[in-house]
Structure 1
Amino acid sequence: MTRLLPLALAQVPAQGDIAAFADTLRAHVRIHPEIELWVFPELHLTTPGGDEQPHQLAVTVGDDRLRALSELAAELKIWLVPGSIYEADGAGGVYNTALVFGPDGRQVAAYRKVFPWRPLEVSRPGTEFVVFDIPGRGRVGLSICYDSWFPELTRHLAWMGAELVLCLVQTDTSDRQQEVVITQANAIVNQCWVASVNSAAPTARGRSLLVDPEGRIRVASPSSETTLLTDVVDFDAVTTTRRYGTAAVSRPWSQFTTGDRAIELPLYAGTLDPARWTPATPTQEETA
């Protein structure tokens, strides 16, 4: 069975009004009823304005705003990634947390940004990598903005079985040009799909894109203008690329063979163990 997932990457300015967000999304879904996964940028619903501070916008588990998002996903029967939010940690701090809601309204994943953009970003770093399964399609990993600059994070998501990595972004600086290249590189070296969804002007610089497992840009925005990028992700392309190689040549996930010795990794105070190199494969039950 071919595993196809129609998705939409919403390059839009930050929008703090959830009621307005819901109305906008309903309108989009009416125009694109075939889209199953809708993805919005980093801090889409909790971007500080004026003198607001992150802790003033932070949401706790069970907050009415989160319940409204859950109900919206169920109403529209979609997979919804409404961007990341500031999550209150209960001790006066906040995390930058990406949320995922399923078409039944359940919150199926929450990922706390591991690499905040320091020194300016004040959120606390998360400590866990997060993937989730879309039954009948494939496994998806979560990443937020500056995370993409650390190859260990995307590599680990791919090792956990992620066939598509969603990177939620709010980059308003000139290095967005470099992030476009990094997005392609992360897709190439991990042989998986990578989507980088940046906010539109005036919030950020746009240039969102979706890259396939061989590094080809499937769809992209050339500017910071508000736009909706749509495409169909073929999860089986990951399997094909890893089996036959990028450009029918390179197969990094098949690098090691029986008898290869472990390689010391002083940076991590650990080792690269050939016996643990092969990425996880979602079971038939998980994707059924």
Structure 2
Amino acid sequence: MPEPHVESAPPRAVDRRVSPARIAVVQCDARVGVDNHEENIERGLALAGRAADAGATLIVLPELCATGYAFATRAEAYAHAEEVPAGKTVRRWEAFARDRAVHLVAGLAERDGVRLYSSAVLVGPDGYIGHYRKTHLWNTEKLWFTPGDTGVPVFETTLGRVGLLVCWDIWFPEMPRLLALQGADVICSANNWVWTPPPVFDPSGRCMAVYLTMTAAHVNNVVIAAANRIGTDRDARFLGCSLIAGTNGWPIGEIAGPDEERILTADVDVVDSRSAPIWNGLNDLVRDRRTDLYHTMLGYTQGRAFPR
């Protein structure tokens, strides 16, 4: 298999970053089947290694990158699943993060007793940090997995505050909003975005998931690193389009194509989101929110854990 192109965003003319990090999203394939498990892990870590070689300090792999996606039965899904963090896959990811001094986000099928979850795990140079269980399940995932019960956690790291989402979660604006309210500096979205009834792409080649990711970054003033997979897995086809959206919502660098194995990187100021942007002398997205009206209908509260 040819080595993927590592795409970096062009450097800014003036670098005023106060908490610099290089984020990488890895777009790759994975195959379902217990016999493919080792190859899936090895390929994911090889690509993560290339990202680390390019200077990445936060690397995001897709949802279920260790197991593949298209399970045929609950028993098959259960055979692929592991405990978190005690399972061997998380231990492999921990060893990689320690060895390369990076933070890594990656997805796997988690087993907790008889329950199964599609989970995203965060590890760092000091080992396991935490994980998030997918809240919103897509299509046949509802036959194997239990909706997540971890809430919407934000994890403190040496890089900054990291929030996690998985795939279909980005369609629900409450999810990135809740992470932003808790002070997330970066949201890592591990995805298995699939082809849906046409039109899948607009004339510019962008899919709906790209626009939802950009919008969530824009309205919440937060960086979102979204890693999707490619290829086919039994009857499922995946559409790529991985990207890193800046706090203004626009992609930093390119958006990956639908069929290419790719590593995208972007240099960011991790704590940039802590300063709310003023759009003009009077308007600001965060300050203009009328939570005094919204909370009575939507359950929102007026307080927030971290000021911006």
Structure-1-length-normalised TM-score = 0.83
| CA 1:216–1:264: 2 relative to 1, 3 Å | closer
Is 1:253–2:286 an aligned residue pair? yes
* Consecutive unaligned residues in structure 1, runs of 5 or more: 283-288
Instruction: Provide the residue aligned with 1:56 in structure 2.
Output: 79
CA displacement 1:175-198 (0-9 Å, x = unmatched): 571111101110111111112210
Contact 1:262/1:273, CA 8 A, preserved across alignment: no
Instruction: Provide the residue aligned with 1:280 in structure 2.
Output: 306
Structure 2 residue identity aligned to 1:77: A
Aligned counterparts of 1:248 and 1:193: Cα–Cα separation in 2: 24
Q: How does 1:1-288 map to 2 (within 5 A)?
A: 2-14=18-30, 16-17=37-38, 20-21=42-43, 24-25=46-47, 27-28=49-50, 31-32=53-54, 34-48=55-69, 51=72, 53-61=76-84, 62-81=86-105, 83-90=106-113, 92-104=114-126, 106-121=127-142, 122-127=144-149, 128-135=151-158, 137-174=159-196, 175=200, 177-202=207-232, 204-219=238-253, 220-240=255-275, 242-245=276-279, 250-255=283-288, 261=292, 263-266=294-297, 268=298, 270=299, 272-274=300-302, 276=303, 278=304, 280-281=306-307
Instruction: Give the 3-state SS of the residue equivalent to 2:286 in structure 1.
Output: helix
Contact 1:131/1:157, CA 8 A, preserved across alignment: yes
- TM-aligned CA deviation for residue 67 of structure 1: 1.8
Aligned counterparts of 1:22 and 1:227: Cα–Cα separation in 2: 12
- TM-aligned CA deviation for residue 165 of structure 1: 0.9
- TM-aligned CA deviation for residue 69 of structure 1: 2.0
Aligned counterparts of 1:224 and 1:239: Cα–Cα separation in 2: 35
- TM-aligned CA deviation for residue 38 of structure 1: 1.3
| CA 1:149–1:125: 2 relative to 1, 3 Å | same
Contact 1:29/1:76, CA 8 A, preserved across alignment: no
| CA 1:2–1:147: 2 relative to 1, 3 Å | same
C-alpha RMSD over aligned residues: 2.7
Instruction: Provide the residue aligned with 1:285 in structure 2.
Output: none
Number of residue equivalences: 268
* Consecutive unaligned residues in structure 2, runs of 5 or more: 1-16, 32-36, 202-206
- TM-aligned CA deviation for residue 252 of structure 1: 2.1
Contact 1:109/1:131, CA 8 A, preserved across alignment: no
Percent identical pairs in the alignment equals: 24
Aligned counterparts of 1:138 and 1:49: Cα–Cα separation in 2: 34
Structure-2-length-normalised TM-score = 0.78
